[in-house]
Amino acid sequence: MSQSGGFEFQGERNGESAVMEDKSSRLSWDEYFMEITKLVAMRSTCLRRHVGAIIVKDKKILATGYNGAPTGVDHCTDVGCLREKLDVPSGERHELCRGLHAEQNAIIQAAYHGVTIQGSTLFCTNLPCSICVKMIINAGIKVVVYLDGYADSLSLDLIEKSGVKLIKFSELRKEP
């Protein structure tokens, strides 16, 4: 504990060393959820990209997901990547991937456990692809907050026409 009675946090924030000594340094809810999303991505077994997703409603995490092979199926880290072998560009020919996307796994996890995600927010390390966007729309997710882009122009068109609110994380206001 610090001399002021608050807890100190020593670690990294935004790639820089940070010491949290008071509430003015406290992470906003959006920062908190995106940091957790980045941690979830570290479980990925994809050789090309590590992606994480979490579904949140009323400041509660409902489900998480990362990209990787279905349960019980060999991971790409063990057997290699078919897309790499065939030189398939990112954002194309999704059917040639043995893995599920992080957003798909989060939505499936919620369904598996009987958790409703209607009206929720999805945080993702990458802009969802068009396949994931279609699932997001039909699952009733209302907001998508993403960290980095993705090479799938159809996803942007679908989101725009669906009414799902799309927010790039860097454009969010940082309020606790």
Going by the DSSP 8-state scheme, the letter that residue 142 receives in this structure is -
Q: pTM of this prediction? A: 0.82
pLDDT at 4: 38
Rounded CA-CA distance 76/99 in Å is 8
The closest of 94, 98, 83, 82 to 134, measured between CA atoms, is 94
Contacting residues for 139 by C-beta, under 8 A, at least 6 apart: 107, 110, 117, 118
Statement: residue 131 has pLDDT above 70: yes
Per-residue pLDDT, 67: 95
pLDDT at 91: 74
Q: Which of 103, 160, 171, 175 is catalytic?
A: 103
- What six digits make up the tokens of 52? 């994480």
Positive or negative torsion for Cα 148, 27, 171, 118? positive
In the residue annotation, 31 being an active-site residue is answered as no
pLDDT tens digits, 118-130: 999 999 999 999 9
Kindly state the DSSP code that residue 59 receives in the 8-state scheme.
T
159 contact partners, CB below 8 Å, separation of at least 6: 133, 137, 144, 166
C-alpha dihedral sign at 163, 119, 101, 36: positive
Q: Are 106 and 37 in contact, with CB atoms under 8 Å apart?
A: no
The most confident of 13-17, 69-73, 92-96, 139-143, by mean pLDDT: 139-143
If one compares 35 and 98, the residue with the highest pLDDT of the two is 35
pLDDT above 70: residue 1: no
Residue 8: pLDDT over 70: no
Identify the pLDDT of residue 95. Answer: 83
CA–CA dist 47, 80 (Å, integer) = 8
**pLDDT, tens only, 36-57:** 999 999 999 998 889 999 999 9
Please check the confidence at residue 16 and state whether its pLDDT lies above 70.
no
Q: Among 77-81, 100-104, 132-136, which stretch is predicted with the lowest mean pLDDT?
A: 77-81
